[in-house]
Structure 1
Amino acid sequence: MLRSIITSLRPASTLLTVLFIMMLCWSTTASALDLHTARSEGLAGETDSGLLAIPPDAANDAQPLITTVNAQRTAEYTRIATRNGISMDVVGAMMFEKIYPTLPAGTWVRINGSWSKK
């Protein structure tokens, strides 16, 4: 059935469809950004609150990723804080202390409001 559909299309239409699908796949792959890549490219940095932020002079390319990760972290920090009777700020600070040693050299970090590279 697929073969009959493809053969019934005009050659120019088929070519345009294939090119469109290829461009769509390429743009989706190119725009995908993971946390490791965002950190290593200087597009995302860790803060002493346990959340991510955009480092100085960085493009906003990682903002959707940062928003998603921060929402997940905030939900988990809130759950831990509630269960232990402490504030979310305390949990976030404790998590930063755990995250910091695992960060590779050159990762942007914001401590007490000041950005620097680890």
Structure 2
Amino acid sequence: MKNNDAIKLLAALTFCLWFAITPVNAADLGQAKAAGLVGELMNGYLGLVDGNAPADVKALVDSINAQRRAEYQRIAAKNGVPAEEVAKLTAQKVIGQAAGGHFVQTPSGWKRR
């Protein structure tokens, strides 16, 4: 994929992804991230930082990951690239923009920004 194409893909994905999450989910996600229960994975999905997170947090992660998966697949099909590539490019951007205090996955495990 050409660099310019990757930038366009990321811009489209970021726009669609953030607007695909309902405001209630966005608020809940922000709270879960701030509490250190949820973080961004290197594969473009959310992960549980704390395996003992409450059931509603686990359900939120599952719901948002399903929305992300669908959006990755839609964008991938539109651009003729694998969904995993879309997810990975998004992960790089989202992790790079993670707020202070939020967890992100690194090759050596979870790291608080």
Task: Provide the TM-score with structure 1 as the length reference.
Answer: 0.65
What residue ranges of structure 1 are gaps of 5+ in the alignment? 1-32
Q: How does 1:33-112 map to 2 (within 5 A)?
A: 34-56=28-50, 58-61=52-55, 62-112=57-107
Instruction: Quote the offset at 1:60 in angstroms.
Output: 3.7
Instruction: Quote the offset at 1:112 in angstroms.
Output: 3.1
User: What's 1:8 paired with?
Assistant: none
Question: Greater Rg, structure 1 or structure 2?
Answer: 1
Residues 1:58 and 1:107: Cα distance change in structure 2 (over 3 Å): farther
What are the Cα deviations for residues 48-103 of structure 1, in whole angstroms up to 9, with x where unaligned?
11100101455244101000000000000001111111111110111112212331
Q: Any conservation in 2 of the 1:54–1:60 contact (CA below 8 Å)?
A: no
What's the C-alpha RMSD, in Å, of the aligned pairs?
A: 1.8
What residue ranges of structure 2 are gaps of 5+ in the alignment? 1-26
Task: Provide the TM-score with structure 2 as the length reference.
Answer: 0.68
Residues 1:91 and 1:100: Cα distance change in structure 2 (over 3 Å): same
Higher relative contact order (CA 8 A, sep 6+): 2
C-alpha distance in 2 between matches for 1:39 and 1:110: 13
